[in-house]
Every structure is written in C-alpha cells, then in structure tokens.
Amino acid sequence: MSTAIHFLEATRQQLRDWSWLKKSLMLIAIITFMTSSFLFLTKPGTDIRIWMAQTVIITQHRDWAWMFVGTEMRDDLVKQLHTFVEENAVEKQLPGMIATTTKRIRSIDELVKVEDISGKLWKGKRMYVYDPKSIRIMTPEKPGEGEKITSMVKRTGAVAGVNAGGFNDPEGLGNGFAALGAIISGGEVIYTDQDGSVPQHIVGFTKDGTLIIGKYNIFELQEMGISEAASFYPRVIANGKPLPINDGSRAPRTAVGQKADGTVIFIVIDGRQTHSVGATLKEVQDLFMEDDVINAGFLDGGASSELVYNGELVTKPSSRYGERRLPSAFLVYDHPENVVANRVWDGIDKIDPGGSYDHPDFLKEQAELKAKQKNNPTPAPTPTPSSTPSANTNKGEPTKPDTGSNAGTNKNGTSTPGTTKPPAGKDTDAKETNGGKATPGDKETAPPKTTPTPSPGTSNNNGADATTPPTGQPSGNNSNTGNSGNSGASTPHPQGTPTPSPATNPTPTPPANNNQVQEPSAKPNTGGTSGTSSDSAGKATPGTSASGSAAPSPTPSTTATGTPVPNKTE
C-alpha cells in the first residue's frame, strides 16, 4: 500500500514539474481519446456521426461525409435519402381538399402577412399569402445569369418573394442561370432539362390556386392546369398526412404549404450562422402541421433561402456574399395578370453555370486582396555579409584581386611590376591613364613611408588599407599587395624568406626583392599610397595601391634617411 502511495506521489510531483506545453498536449490527447471513444464506441456517438454526415450530404460537398461514417455508410445514407425523396413523391393529391374562390384580394395589407418564428437552434420568417392566385413564377431579366430576388421584386413591382427551384452551382459561386428541372410561368413551359414524358419533382400552383407537390411529367402538369411551377423536393405532407422523414440534418430551409381554405404559407429559416444553425425537415413539417396544412414540400434551400418583403431582404442568407443570383422565384403581386416572365433560355443550346472565374463578388474580393498585398509588400530580408570588413576599408566595396596588368607576386614571393587600379567606387585621387601609369590627384596625401622590419600580423604596404584575401587565394601571394616590398624612396636591405602570415592576416608581408633597387623619389608621393606602377620600360613611378587609400601603419614609419616620423591619418 505504501509503495502505491509513494508511486502516486512521485507521479503527481512529475506532473507538477511538467511545462505548460506538456500539460496542454496531455490534455488534448486525453480529450481526443475520450471524444473518439464516445463517438465510435457508443450508440449516441454513432447517432451524432450520422447526423453530421447527413448535414454534409445535403450540401455541395457530399463526398466529405466519409470523414464521419466512412465511404460505405456514406453511400448508404445517400441511397436512403434518394429513396425517401422518391417514395414521398409517389402519392397523388386527392381533388377537392382545397377550397377555391374567384374572389381577388387587392389590398396589400390583406394579401400578405409576415411574422417571426424561432426554435431552439434556428430563427426565420413565416409569410401567409391569402390569395394563392396572386403568386407567380419570375425568371431573370437577361440571358446568361440569374437575378437576385430584391432585383426581381423591384423590377416587376412585386409585394414579396421567396426563392423557388434549384440550379447547378459550381463551387457555390454559380451564376444562377443553369436551372434544374422545369420552370413554368403563366401556363407556359419556360425551361425544362428533361423530355416532356420524364417525371420531375414539381412544386407549383394551378390556375385556380391549388398547390401541387409531387412527381409529374410535363404532359400531366398541362392536363392538371398548372400555371406556375419550379422543381425541388422533398414532399413532407400529402393530403393532410405527414410523410416519413429519415433526414435529421440542419440547414437553411425554404418550404411552402397550403391550408384547406387556400391560404399559402411560405417558411424561410436562416442557417449555418451563429444566430441560427438551421432547421430539420421534421421541425418544418411540425410547423406546417400546427397550421393544419394539407400539402407541403420544400423549395431550394441552403445559401439560396431568402424572403423579400416590401422591397427589403428580411432574412439573412448564409452566402458570404449575401443574396445570390437565382433562376426562379415565387413572387406575390397585387396585379398578377400584368406580369410576364422572360423566356431567357430560348435559343440557348449550352448553358454555362458559371463559377469563380466570372462571379463578380468573388472577383472583386480577389482584386481587393491583391491591391492590399501590393500596398503592403513583404519586406525583403537584409543580407548578412560573409566576412567582417576591416575598419580601414570602404564597407561598400570589398577589394578584389586584379587579374589584368596590376602588380602581383610570383611563386617566390617577389613582386612583379605592373599597374594597380583602384576598385570602382573607392575614394581615391589616383587616376589610371591610357599608358598604364597612375597620375596623382588633387588631394593632399601622406608622404611615402616604409616599414623597416616586417612582422607577422602587420602589413608592409605602408599604410594601405588592410583587406581580406579572396577565397581560394593563398594569403602569402595576395596580388593586392602591389610593389609594397620595393615602394617608398629607400633601398631595402636584403632579407631572408619570411614565415608566411597566418590565414587570418588580411594583408601578408611579401619578401623583399634583393635584385631590384629603386632610386629615392625627389619629392613626396601625392598619390595617397606608396604602391608603385610600372610603365612599358619597367621604370617605377609613384602610383596607387590596390586599396586606393592611405591608412595609418601599426608601426612607426621611416623616411628615406631613416628618421622615424609619426603616421599621418587623413
């Protein structure tokens, strides 16, 4: 017992010593394990996964439902949904269950009433239309794209309107023109994507105002006297009886039903938003049953669900761009006999459903993002120099070896006469002439000086800037040293071969040349350094060093007579 207590105490102490990151990761792992166990090992968890899969199935991203239930069960759920929709559409409506009247209601206040409705997880609107003959199907104004309901209402002078039939909607950014099923207005078939003998899911009204919901072909609809119709599903109430529903998903909904006295009820539920998650089919069915609806079915839902009243959008569509362009809408008019729907699909053989490439709101959003990125570019990183320049060098221009006629050193360490050229951008007063000679500039410079005894770690370039030798070049043969061994106005003494400088020495000391003797210059050098240049005859003349500027020497210099003088700093 004491061993177990000791173990628990030790474990508790280890947990206390853990960092916040370890504790957070452990907490996430525990929550993930418990959640996964609940979802996959319990019946309530399985029901939740099925509900989430059904919610995804009714969207345009049906394939992603496998993440919750796997591909096999996803396919089964899709098949079950299809079967449920088809079975509910089979029963034919019984005649005489809806009262018809010839009375026309002209007053807008008496024609329509809109009220708020809500449930535990949703909010929406319910609109009563007391004259079913005032409802007409409206189509877009021009070919090639759908039209927003607010635009339709304003253009045609409607009192109110809701979305109607479905359409092909690529990426959720379709242009609203590729309608699905059939569209009938004023008793004329405006559009159909099927042969007239093929049954289609229909939601429409006859000429006397009776709501028809079910699966009929065009010929049957014409015999029934259909005046206004669009295609969608499912049917949830038939002949006063609720039909079975096996779909528990939540989404934005638009539905229509009719009471026995002929009153039409439109229900529009917001969804996929914080203020309203969405309603299930069963919840909407219950709302209709509370009003004693005889027949009811659903219209296009999702981001298309919306209700417009008195020219204003009174619901909140779930689309990120607000109202969508639609191919059809049920609009309410006080003078429906004056309304004619446009035949915008006539003469069109191939319909472009649109997408992100031509969606105006999407393109505008992308243009704004590009403009924002252009106005706020990402700053480029500052490059890090590969080596630290000496304090005496020009930081902007590192010295490069001269591969042309510049003075250099041979394998024995002796210098060869040549012409030195200052690097581009250096502050130097020596200018190279066409003959290869350096001419002094106008600035006052230090007199030529030499270091009597070379030592490792120092440069005998008589005050020339110390530079880092290029990579791959031995430090003892740096061509940037010029004729430093023979520079100045004194005759150097013979010396032995010096020990090569360490690799970290920026400017090594080459050995003195025992065979070449220079005459002292009659006047001090005004070129700024003591390096020499050679003309075509090999005669040494005052010139410039490879560094192009004078700098103080680390040791005292001597004049031609050997008298020590202090270094001059410019």
| Statement to judge: residues 430 and 311 lie in one domain | no
Taking the C-alpha atoms of residue 520 and residue 530, their distance in angstroms, rounded to an integer, is: 12
| Residue 1: predicted pLDDT | 65
CB proximity list for 48: less than 8 A, separation 6 or greater = 39
| Statement to judge: residues 217 and 336 lie in one domain | yes
| Statement to judge: residues 412 and 318 lie in one domain | no
Residue 503 within a domain: no
| Residue 506: predicted pLDDT | 46
C-alpha pair distances (Å), 489 with each of 74, 413, 531: 97, 21, 11
Structural domain count of the chain:
3
For tokens 């919840």, name the residue: 283
pTM: 0.63
- Cα 484 from chain centroid (whole Å): 62
| Statement to judge: residues 30 and 170 lie in one domain | no
Neighbours of 252 (CB within 10 A): 28
**293: which DSSP letter?**
E
Residue 320 within a domain: yes
CB proximity list for 187: less than 8 A, separation 6 or greater = 207, 225, 226, 227
CB proximity list for 320: less than 8 A, separation 6 or greater = none
| Statement to judge: residues 302 and 183 lie in one domain | yes
Among 286, 314, 341, the domain-final residue is 341
| Statement to judge: residues 148 and 247 lie in one domain | yes
| Statement to judge: residues 178 and 133 lie in one domain | yes
Taking the C-alpha atoms of residue 92 and residue 41, their distance in angstroms, rounded to an integer, is: 43
Taking the C-alpha atoms of residue 450 and residue 490, their distance in angstroms, rounded to an integer, is: 8
Handedness of CA 466, 471, 475, 476 (dihedral sign): negative
Name the residue range of residue 48's domain. 15-84
Residue 391 within a domain: no
Residue 356 within a domain: no
| Residue 8: predicted pLDDT | 81
Residue 10 within a domain: no
**477: which DSSP letter?**
G
Kindly tell me the burial class for residue 143, based on how many C-beta atoms sit within 10 Å of its own C-beta (0-12, 13-18, 19 or more). Answer: middle
pLDDT in tens, the chain (570 residues): 678 888 888 888 888 888 889 889 989 999 999 999 999 899 999 999 998 998 888 887 788 899 999 999 999 999 998 999 999 999 999 988 999 877 777 778 889 999 999 999 999 999 999 999 999 999 999 999 999 999 999 999 999 999 999 999 998 899 999 999 999 999 999 999 999 999 999 999 999 999 999 999 999 999 999 999 999 999 999 999 999 998 999 999 999 999 999 999 999 999 999 999 999 999 999 999 999 999 999 999 999 999 999 999 999 999 989 999 999 999 999 999 999 999 999 999 999 999 999 999 999 999 999 998 888 876 666 666 655 554 444 444 444 444 444 434 444 444 444 444 444 444 444 344 344 444 444 444 444 444 444 444 444 444 444 334 344 443 344 434 333 344 333 444 444 444 444 444 444 444 444 444 444 444 444 444 434 333 333 343 444 443 344 444 444 444 334 444 444 434
State residue 116 phi and psi, 5-degree precision.
Answer: -80, 145
| Statement to judge: residues 133 and 50 lie in one domain | no
Taking the C-alpha atoms of residue 18 and residue 29, their distance in angstroms, rounded to an integer, is: 15
Residue 101 within a domain: no
| Statement to judge: residues 160 and 306 lie in one domain | yes
| Statement to judge: residues 60 and 190 lie in one domain | no
| Statement to judge: residues 422 and 550 lie in one domain | yes
| Statement to judge: residues 24 and 147 lie in one domain | no
Among 288, 316, 341, the domain-final residue is 341
Taking the C-alpha atoms of residue 142 and residue 179, their distance in angstroms, rounded to an integer, is: 14
Among 341, 370, 388, the domain-final residue is 341
| Residue 538: predicted pLDDT | 39
